Structure 1
Amino acid sequence: MNITVETTIAAPIERVWSAWTTPEDITQWNAASDDWHTTRASVDLRVGGTFSSRMEAKDGSMGFDFSGTYTKIEHHQLIECEFGGRTLRVEFLTGPNGVTVRETFEAEQTHSEEQQRAGWQSILDNFARHVEGKTTA
């Protein structure tokens, strides 16, 4: 089963793409809730290159690495990758109101579809706020 989440960001594609693919930016937005953060990130943005983000609870109680390999890249348009035996497709769609970022990913079996959708959407919403220069509440 695939799950899709998306948001539209009022910013130019160059800024959106850069924030998605720059480790320093990723550590600023890559969290589903205020009690989590990304402590480090790496990006080798090329087909066959890898990415990794270390996500941790701020209280130190748990953490995990989210990593994978890029399988397709179309500059300013598309990033596809595999992670943990699953796939992710990220589309960057430029329109009159900015850039719509649409993520489609293969669901995993541990958490419900609702939990996965909510978590991924929350991270994407944080991404939009970061790119637009807004802080979270």
Structure 2
Amino acid sequence: MKISIEIEVDAPLNTVWDAWVTPEDITCWNFALDEWCCPRAELNLEVGGRFNYRMEAKDGSMGFDFEGEFTEINHCRSILYTLGDDRNVEVQFLETQNAVKVIETFEAEDENSAEQQKQGWLSILSNFKKYVESKGS
């Protein structure tokens, strides 16, 4: 099953793109809950390149690596990647009249309900929006 989420970010396309692919930016927004953080983000933004984003509870009680491999990159338009468990993800960046619509489509995993997954990914996307918009243009 595929799940799609989207959000509009009030910022220029290049700003949105850069915040999505720059490790120093990723560590500022890539977590679903305020009790979590992303202390490390590493990526090689090229087809066949890998990424690894460390996600941890701030109290150190748990954490995991969110990792995978880029399969297609269209600068400022889309990024496709495969996660470590072979699920595919597509992220699209679409300019609208006043913003950039970010659409993420991902294959669901079997451990959590589709609604839990949707809400978790949407929380991260909401953090992304808040972070990018707080940067200004």
Q: Bin the TM-score by the shorter chain.
A: over 0.9
Give the unaligned 5+ runs of structure 1.
none
Identity %: 54
Aligned residue type for 1:80 = L
Per-residue CA shift, 1:51-82, capped at 9, x if unaligned?
Answer: 11000001111000000000000000000000
Corresponding residue SS for 1:132: helix
Which residue is 2:37 aligned to? 37
Q: With structure 1 as the length reference, what TM-score do the two structures score? A: 0.96
Aligned length: 134
Corresponding residue SS for 2:134: coil
Q: How far is the alpha carbon of 1:43 from its aligned partner? A: 1.3
Question: Is the counterpart of residue 107 in structure 1 residue 108 in structure 2?
Answer: yes
Which residue is 2:120 aligned to? 119
Which residue is 1:56 aligned to? 56
Q: How far is the alpha carbon of 1:31 from its aligned partner? A: 0.6
Give the unaligned 5+ runs of structure 2.
none
Note the aligned Cα RMSD (angstroms). 0.8
Which residue is 1:131 aligned to? 132
Runs of 4+ in 1 over 4 A off after TM superposition: none
Which residue is 1:68 aligned to? 68
**Cα distance in 2 for residues equivalent to 1:37 and 1:97:** 30
Q: How far is the alpha carbon of 1:97 from its aligned partner? A: 2.0
**Cα distance in 2 for residues equivalent to 1:17 and 1:79:** 10
